[in-house]
Structure 1
Amino acid sequence: MNETHDTSAIYHGHYGSVFTPVVKGSGGAGGYPGSGGGALHMKVGRTLHLDGLLSSKGSDATGEKSSGGSGGSILIETTNFTGHGELSVRGGDGRGGINSNDGTSVLGGGGGGGRVGMHVRHQNNYGGLYTTEGGVGMYGTTASPVHLPVDGSAGTIYKYESRRGPQYRELKYNTTVDEANYKPDHTFLKIDAGSRRGFNTDAEVSSLPTMIMEEGTIDYEFDEIQLHGTVNLLFYHPRNNSTVSAIAHELTGDKQGIIAIRDQQILYVHYVESTHILSWMLLQVLM
């Protein structure tokens, strides 16, 4: 979906807001592709309690030599959020096949994961699951599939949380939209690839990229960025050649992910030696 939608052997692209995702996923490629996930936007005045499944996931390919659909969007705006359910924007699985002309295996790529945005004005006590990984990619036939590292990329989870009333919070002016809003107590970005893999099982090559992007934004700031699995994280760079900067006050993960910093991009990480904040993931500089 709005994250990479891996609808064939190569991913097609990225789109959609990391903060307020509201767009649908993309359908896969091939003769029997999966459909993209939908876009779900929920506004709840006081309390949203979720114990079931809330899904905008992409569907699996229904036939051989086809790819899965990419995940969609879930955007939640509420005062309080509780429950132990599941939010899913998972990408659909692909199905491989055999080329009838020469007997070679054909790829059915996994669809990319979608985006979840949670804006909780007061207390976020939700303890459920988030399913945002990409779909499984396959070569070969259904009877004898070969699971090579061609899975869809991971989606994004953004949490905007505040546990105090507005009278205790900082008022922050946004020059991009010419608007002042109360700053949340905590902004959290998580990318979780689960068990998915990319073009190579070596974590230094990692998976298809997950793109952080927001229209009109070149400066990003998160209280915490957390990476799990072989995530390959990129920040979108607009064509006007402006310098893109990102601030991570805390950076955590499981030591498998990559954050790739390109030319005219800056990543600031606040490091305190006595805490756990650095996850020892690989930082790449791409020129």
Structure 2
Amino acid sequence: MAQTTFAYAKSVALTDYMPPFRQAKEQVTWPWEKIVSKKSTKRGTEQVFPVTGLPAASQTDELEPIYYADAAELDAVTFTVTKKTLATMLSHEFIEDSWHLPDQMAEAGKMAGESQSYIKELAIAAILYGAFDTTVTYEGSSTYLCDSHTMKNGATYDNDLGPSSITFDNLWLMINHFETAPVTHMGIPLRDIPKFLIYHPSKEKEVQAILKSQLEPGTADNDKNTVLGYNLIPISCRFLTTTTHWFIAGSRFKDDFLFFSREGLKTAMEDDFDRMGVKFRSYQRFAVGVRDFLWIVGNPGA
């Protein structure tokens, strides 16, 4: 029987290992791309600066000086790139003796791709499952993502509602937040359209009952389900470590939820000289975070 060579192992890998790897690395276990903006970077860190906004315009009488106000940046939000690595080795004996080598190589490639896909999706979800965690502070702030925030003008902005469960009335409280609460860091009123309802899969029944019922759910009256007019997009995230957490993100939240890719998922192969096998390595480098907290409201649930 011929000895295993790196050239032989490489040819086997290219035909049987790499296609399943490339396919599996794109798997999506929750639709994070709907709420995240993907960007590329050539540095190990990125800094993004939220802005304060300007105060209200001032009435100026004839021949009076124009009112000038400072347009300032807030503290920098730093995105630090991390590297995620995964490697495996196929032994000389495995390649020489396997009667089902194509199938087993395909499974090995698929498993590696799934693992790299998982770690990226988990890192993105961590921003949400740490939203109420006092140990996970919001970038550029001493508070966390969903909290009572002190704005630049000294006022308080609260995007942490509840705790309450997902019901028709509680959902309306979250929707109304976007109509009445958002302001710039200088206090100028803002408005956004509530667009994404983010929740744990264990709450799927409650969510679907609200979003698909033609009449107001949970009541004996024949009142129309007015939530339907907002066309909320449900996003089920299985990585929310507390199953009661839920959020509504506005249409502008995606502009602030940033994923910086330093190096996309790459692979390499090399001969394992001592054991006459072949090693497969994969890695990716990225950073993820939120630039500003204005366009999301969270509820720790009950």
TM-score, L = length of structure 2: 0.25
Between Structure 1 and Structure 2, the one with more strand by share is 1
Higher RCO, Cα 8 Å, sep 6+: 2
